[in-house]
Amino acid sequence: MAQRFGGKFSPDPEAESETPPRSAYHGAQVDPVGARANALFLPAALLVFLSFGGGAVSMAQGLAAAGALALAAWLRREGLRAEAAYAARRVARRPVLPRKMLASLLTGIGAALAAYRTEPGLVAPLLYGGAATVLHGLAFGIDPLRDKGMEGIDSFQQDRVARTVAEAEGYLSAMSDAVRRAGDRKIEARVERFQKTARELFRTVEEDPRDLTGARKYMTVYLMGARDATIKFADLYARTPDRQARADYTALLDDLEQNFAARTRKMLTDNHSDLTVEIEVLRDRLQREGVRLD
């Protein structure tokens, strides 16, 4: 009888059928703020140095223009990040503050003030300011102006989810700040991997606020405990690197990640079951109305 050859480097069908472990780059996202957006801080910096060559009035006008351009560049960065977060979610509200549109307006104001220093009057500053505003809007676009995927979702429940997610994100940020004190890059990467798993749970709850009741203790109590454990581990490991403390903390992260992932899978399964029930109810109603679905 033929027998499959096996060895250290031979493919294993049973192993291939299992779900492969996630890499450290799973869920990683590129920062939406690129060189194009960061380069627009340079005009403000150059304008500050050029403002000291004239009198007091010219200097004040130049500094005001530089301030408007710098504020526009900062708002542009925040607007790009808010737009990326909006696009990454299936359920999201429009940004409360239209940062990119305000950045376009401030860019026009900064350009107009800078032009007024060399060409006093109204025509030239208005032309330069209007052109800068339009070009900025064409280059970076406008902010999302409407909610996405909010049909049929209770706004009160969505507000509760937003507050809980904000609290949970605070715990994750505190974990990141604390673990840096340990000075161990591998532990930092391990914490980042757990945070990605936790954020998958956040996104699931955001898409269906009814899941908040079952996930609240994960997003508050468990993450609060993880934050406190991270602070204690970082303080201990920074003083005396202890392999046993490192192993215990890594085991804690493993247990937390498994529990968070299991909770996320359970919520997705429950949502699928709810959909199946809705479909069956709709089929029964259609059949009672005399509509046959063959």
Domain regions of the chain by residue span: 35-140, 155-288
Which tens digit of pLDDT belongs to each residue from 80-97? 888 887 777 766 677 888
Average pLDDT over residues 99-109: 93
Q: Which residues pair with 92 in a beta bridge?
A: 148
Q: Which long-range contacts (CB under 8 A, 24 or more apart) does 236-241 make?
A: 237/182, 237/183, 237/184, 237/187, 238/181, 238/182, 238/183
Q: Pick the range with the lowest mean pLDDT from 18-27, 48-57, 178-187, 198-207.
A: 18-27
Give the residue carrying structure tokens 């391990």. 190
pLDDT at 68 over 80: yes
Is pLDDT larger for residue 270 or for residue 141?
A: 141
> Is the overall model pTM greater than 0.75, yes or no?
no
pLDDT at 195 over 60: yes
For the chain, give the mean pLDDT.
Answer: 79
Q: Are 215 and 208 in contact, with CB atoms under 8 Å apart?
A: no
Is pLDDT larger for residue 228 or for residue 287?
A: 228
Gap between the Cα atoms of 16 and 70, Å rounded: 53
The CA-based angle 221-225-231, given to 5 degrees, is: 145
Q: Are 79 and 103 in contact, with CB atoms under 8 Å apart?
A: yes
Determine the pLDDT at residue 278: 56
221 band by pLDDT with thresholds 50, 70 and 90: confident
Determine the pLDDT at residue 1: 44
> b/e per residue, 28-64, with b = 16+ CB within 10 A?
eeeebeeeebeebbebbeebbebbeeeeeebbebbbb
Determine the pLDDT at residue 173: 92
pLDDT at 76 over 50: yes
Give the residue carrying structure tokens 């498994």. 258
Query: Which whole-number Å values give the CA distances from 269 to 36, 199, 202, 258, 265, in the listed order?
Result: 43, 18, 16, 16, 6
- Residues, the chain, total? 294
Is pLDDT larger for residue 285 or for residue 237?
A: 237
Gap between the Cα atoms of 69 and 229, Å rounded: 43
Is pLDDT larger for residue 218 or for residue 86?
A: 218
154 band by pLDDT with thresholds 50, 70 and 90: low
Gap between the Cα atoms of 24 and 28, Å rounded: 8
Give the residue carrying structure tokens 């809007």. 137
Query: Which whole-number Å values give the CA distances from 246 to 193, 250, 253, in the listed order?
Result: 16, 6, 11
Determine the pLDDT at residue 8: 45
